[in-house]
Structure 1
Amino acid sequence: MFDALDRQTALSRRQQLLAYLATWAVCLEFLDYFLIGFILTFVSGSWSLTFGQSSIILLSSGIGAILGALYFGRLADRIGRRRVFLITIAVFTLATGALALTPDDAAVGWIYLTVLRVVVGFGAGGLYVVDLPMVQEFMPAAKRGRVVGMVTSAVPLGFLVGSLMVWLLSDLIGWRGILMVAAVMGLSVFTMRLWIPESPRYLVRQGDLEGARRSIAWALHVDAESLPLAAPAVESPQRKPGIRALLPYKRSFWLATIANLGTQTGYYGLTLWTPTLLVLILAIDPAQSGFYMVFVTLGALAGRFGLSFLAEGVGRRRAGIIAGFAAAALLVLAAALDQVAIAGFSVFFLLMIVVYFFGEGGFAIVGPYSGEVWPSWLRTTGMGFAYGIGGIGKVIGPLGLGLIVGSSNLVKPEATVTDLMPAFCYFAGWYALCAVMFAVLGFETKGKSLEALDDEIEGQTRAGEENRWHTRSSR
């Protein structure tokens, strides 16, 4: 039955639809991250927000995302991908709409914003770690990495959509109206995803072979009776998805967790500082910096697409090594050549475009790979844990920056050009660590069916446990 998926040379229209809807969902998740900064520009002055209050509001969704990834990832392995995805998008959408009802009273309003931002992040974090594995489980092995990697291209797309909404709508409907538009967009995802069936891999593990056959038939747009039934999954009744169940899979555990932590720390810390650095090094005003950031963001978007194809071409492991070491080396080079210009163009600016190509583009490798390195019965639990722990990078990236530049302002740090090399070496170290994890612990998933990967991962774990048992016995 699953062979019918893996034999595909082209995606069906329904598989393409699933990929497009997943991309749109991820786009909305990161659109929300953009909009909160816009909201603060409207309320911070009238509310007289302190730096601490602004920081709490901005960072609250990150905390919610960590909790959501951990909780919903585990839940999706227990009750199904489809049901949990619909829950996450409902939580995310309702909380976004409720933000439009923020009280005008400053004493209550900032607390209201903070609490709902945690709820928004809770739903959004779960959405990402459930949606990517669900798309993987409907795709042929030969196209799985490319398709899911391109779904992650929605992250910079979300920032772009947010910029356009602010530009075109803020004078017409204000920030509350923009939030309501975002909520309606989330409702559109919920409505369209009602049509998508449950993951066939999940249904097989639940013993619903007929349901799994119908899901695959839906994806391929064929009659279910034309497909053979899958063999029932052999599951130990003692195995229940949970954080503790991840621990025996030591290779997958450390690889996925540290790769996510390294990528998120480097990216979020760097993203926080780049606009400020462009102002300092290029001697431009903040408005011009925004214009230059458009090109940097386009570099990130190109990286998402380019590295999706690279991962399917040379393999996930090699692509991860290339992306991590390239981002690290280019960061150091950009810091060393920050005052150099060629034909009137700043070398620093040009290198930052390429840094974002590999640095942010690396998410197109790390995200899908974090689902592939776990057995199917733990796929969303493992990915949720890795992505959730990686979310700590949203704090230690800016925190590391603050310690290096001696700033207490971790949301909008003050910087000087002399801080550039140590700060960039800090970020480069995280990207290099990510590359080392791919090199030392990585194993290739390219072109392998999820069933073949299940057997390989379980075999690795059994072999490791046997080696440890023999080692203890020989002492």
Structure 2
Amino acid sequence: MGSFARPAFFWAGAAACTAGALLHLPMYLHARHMGYRMAGMPVDTPMLIGMLLIVTGVAAVLHGLLPRGSDALRRQVASVRVRAVDDAPLRPAHVALLAVLSLAVTIDVMKPMTLSFVVPGVAKEYGLASPLNPGGDVPVSWLPLSGIAGTMTGSFLWGWLGDRIGRRGSILLAGVLFATTAVCGAMPSFSWNVAMCFLMGTAAGGLIPIAFTLLVETVPQRHRGWLMVLIGGNVTVAYILTSWLAATLTPTYSWRILWLAGLPTGLLLIALNRWIPESPRYLLATGRTEEARRVLARYGSTLQDAPAVAAPDETGPARPGYRGLFAASFRGPTLALTVLAVGAGLMSYGFQMWLPTNLGRLGIAEVSSDRVLRDSALISLPLNVLTALLYGLWSSRRTVIALAGLTAAALVALAVLAETAAGHGLPLRLLLLVPLWGISATAAVLAAYSSEAYPTPLRARGTSWAAGTSKAGGVAVLGLSVAAVAVPPLGVTALLGAVPLALAAVAFALYGPETRGRRLDEIVPGQVPARA
């Protein structure tokens, strides 16, 4: 399914990273008689050795994944154009790939979601400023800000890595970093927590766009859209699992166990690597034609020659950078996706994150607020299935327009009723259901559409651009929290999400190409720039 360029380096590095992470556990276990409070504990020798092993191991993993002849790859990748037989049926190999990547997406989404569950414990252990402890000197908001800034950075970085070390290699690198950055749960100082949380966020931000890039290049055309949106809807599953783990484990093992859980989940992703193929297009770009044919045969597809869109420029890098997304042929779809990503980020990190506080201001008890969020997450599951079917069987473009427009309308209605919302029990719940479902549904269609809307040389970066832009709203929102700016009222947070979503609906109506039922190389025809 695509062997490593240097397997000995990869597996030796993975083993070193695992050993390094395990060497952080003795200090954590030593603190069990203190309720696993590690604040102020000195870093011991095993932990220092573990850090050295992790740094060395990550370097070895990267060397093991880097393709041979990478300079030639930069000259070849822009000229590779292949077509797979898109009417192939779903095979057991497809099902295995979908199951593994669905698990990977769930694990990935759980990382940033964990932030909201660990922040109260972190603030209490380190005496940080928080809503429950306004007298602290250092805001606990630095932790989620670091994590979300990491996811934004990782989205852009993995867009480059997806073209550099391959789709499969990028996913496995994220798994290695999931396992190693689990040591965030054993860090004795808050500053180390902030640093490790950034690295953890980097891996989390990078995995999803590359996973969708691999899916779109492997799944048959007629099943491509609805399956990707369905997997993207795992945001809801991740929320339910994270809240369950927090309620079950943290009372006994403290908030730290939620980070330490990243070690087994990361190792699980690496162990399942045999069911993660390399993209056939990437294999061809690196000169591994027979390997590409074997991968495609396993998935019931063959290769057909297609004319190149643009010849590579031998005098410079043939692979376009992020500026290639704004070339004339792709400017419209990129604009539409960017506006949708901004709206998705402001909904997730603004409206949703501040919703419990705003419901409390309206006189709705904390328990009732948690119940509203839980019920909305559960109801979102069947609604996400409906969204996937509409996207794949009706129209991708119209589904995005309808979803953005409906969510924007519900947010505007909430803004109008904001001051009297507490007196409208049932209408309030119904109105809240739409944007809370819209958060997971928008994230799903954003990931799916961005991975379909660009040709192979731009696909990883296009998907990563959309993912990174959606995280920018989180960085802005959490930056306000660090600056101790008061939480905006419900009406303001609703309008902050409604405006870009309404604009996104208009932008998709004007510039969004239809992706359903079309080959990947026919969706946005045009030249891929040779330079960027």
TM-score (norm 1): 0.84
Shift of 1:334: 2.6
Matching residue of 1:444: 514
Shift of 1:320: 1.0
Shift of 1:398: 6.0
**Matched position secondary structure for 2:117:** helix
Pair 1:21-2:100 in alignment: yes
Q: Using the alignment, how far apart are the partners of 1:15 and 1:61 within structure 2?
A: 33
Give unpaired runs (5+ residues) of structure 2. Answer: 1-80, 131-137
- In structure 2, which of residues 178, 186, 201 is the aligned counterpart of residue 101 of structure 1? 186
Which is further off, 76-85 or 130-139? 76-85
Q: Using the alignment, how far apart are the partners of 1:71 and 1:328 within structure 2?
A: 31
Shift of 1:260: 1.3
| Paired AA for residue 518 in structure 2 | K
Q: Using the alignment, how far apart are the partners of 2:338 and 2:495 within structure 1?
A: 21
Matching residue of 1:90: 176
Conserved? CA contact 1:65–1:126, under 8 Å: yes
Q: Using the alignment, how far apart are the partners of 1:425 and 1:197 within structure 2?
A: 43
Q: Using the alignment, how far apart are the partners of 2:464 and 2:487 within structure 1?
A: 34
Conserved? CA contact 1:327–1:428, under 8 Å: yes
Distance 1:263 1:183, change over 3 A: same
| Paired AA for residue 270 in structure 1 | F
Distance 1:134 1:311, change over 3 A: same
Shift of 1:82: 0.7
- In structure 2, which of residues 74, 87, 92 is the aligned counterpart of residue 7 of structure 1? 87
- In structure 2, which of residues 370, 388, 391 is the aligned counterpart of residue 308 of structure 1? 388
Pair 1:367-2:431 in alignment: no
Residue by residue over 1:180-232, the C-alpha shift from the partner in whole angstroms, topping out at 9 and shown as x without a partner, is 23320121012102442211122234443322211112234xxxxxx654437
Q: Using the alignment, how far apart are the partners of 1:34 and 1:180 within structure 2?
A: 15
Distance 1:265 1:341, change over 3 A: closer
**Matched position secondary structure for 2:305:** coil
Which is further off, 269-278 or 300-309? 300-309
Q: Using the alignment, how far apart are the partners of 1:321 and 1:218 within structure 2?
A: 36
TM-score (norm 2): 0.75
Conserved? CA contact 2:160–2:461, under 8 Å: yes
Shift of 1:308: 1.5
Pair 1:394-2:474 in alignment: yes
Conserved? CA contact 1:64–1:122, under 8 Å: yes
Residue by residue over 1:262-317, the C-alpha shift from the partner in whole angstroms, topping out at 9 and shown as x without a partner, is 22123321111222233343x33212311221012224434432212111133111
Shift of 1:86: 0.8
**Matched position secondary structure for 1:443:** coil
Matching residue of 1:68: 154
Matches within 5 A, 1:95-134: 95-96=181-182, 98-103=183-188, 109-134=189-214
Matches within 5 A, 1:174-189: 174-189=254-269
**Matched position secondary structure for 1:457:** coil
- In structure 2, which of residues 464, 467, 474 is the aligned counterpart of residue 384 of structure 1? 464
Matching residue of 2:357: 276
Q: Using the alignment, how far apart are the partners of 1:118 and 1:80 within structure 2?
A: 23
Conserved? CA contact 2:280–2:292, under 8 Å: yes
- In structure 1, which of residues 228, 231, 247 is the aligned counterpart of residue 305 of structure 2? 231
Matching residue of 1:469: none
Conserved? CA contact 2:337–2:504, under 8 Å: no
Conserved? CA contact 1:57–1:117, under 8 Å: yes
Which is further off, 351-360 or 181-190? 351-360
Q: Which runs of 4+ in 1 moved over 6 A?
A: 1-4
| Paired AA for residue 496 in structure 2 | Y
Distance 1:398 1:42, change over 3 A: closer
Which is further off, 77-86 or 238-247? 238-247
**Matched position secondary structure for 1:139:** coil
Conserved? CA contact 2:154–2:202, under 8 Å: yes
Matching residue of 1:223: none
Shift of 1:171: 3.2
Matches within 5 A, 1:274-353: 274-281=355-362, 283-337=363-417, 339=420, 345-353=425-433
Matching residue of 1:357: 437
Shift of 1:57: 0.8
Conserved? CA contact 2:83–2:306, under 8 Å: no
**Number of equivalences:** 434
Conserved? CA contact 2:118–2:258, under 8 Å: no
- In structure 1, which of residues 55, 68, 82 is the aligned counterpart of residue 141 of structure 2? 55
Identity of aligned residues (%): 26
Matching residue of 2:323: 244
Pair 1:421-2:491 in alignment: yes
Shift of 1:174: 3.0
Matching residue of 1:435: 505
Pair 1:253-2:334 in alignment: yes
Q: Using the alignment, how far apart are the partners of 1:142 and 1:232 within structure 2?
A: 20
Shift of 1:177: 3.3
Shift of 1:370: 0.8
| Paired AA for residue 247 in structure 2 | W
Distance 1:206 1:252, change over 3 A: farther
Shift of 1:125: 0.9
Q: Using the alignment, how far apart are the partners of 2:297 and 2:247 within structure 1?
A: 44
Distance 1:59 1:347, change over 3 A: same
Distance 1:414 1:269, change over 3 A: closer
Q: Using the alignment, how far apart are the partners of 2:421 and 2:190 within structure 1?
A: 44
Q: Using the alignment, how far apart are the partners of 1:319 and 1:110 within structure 2?
A: 44
Conserved? CA contact 1:359–1:431, under 8 Å: no
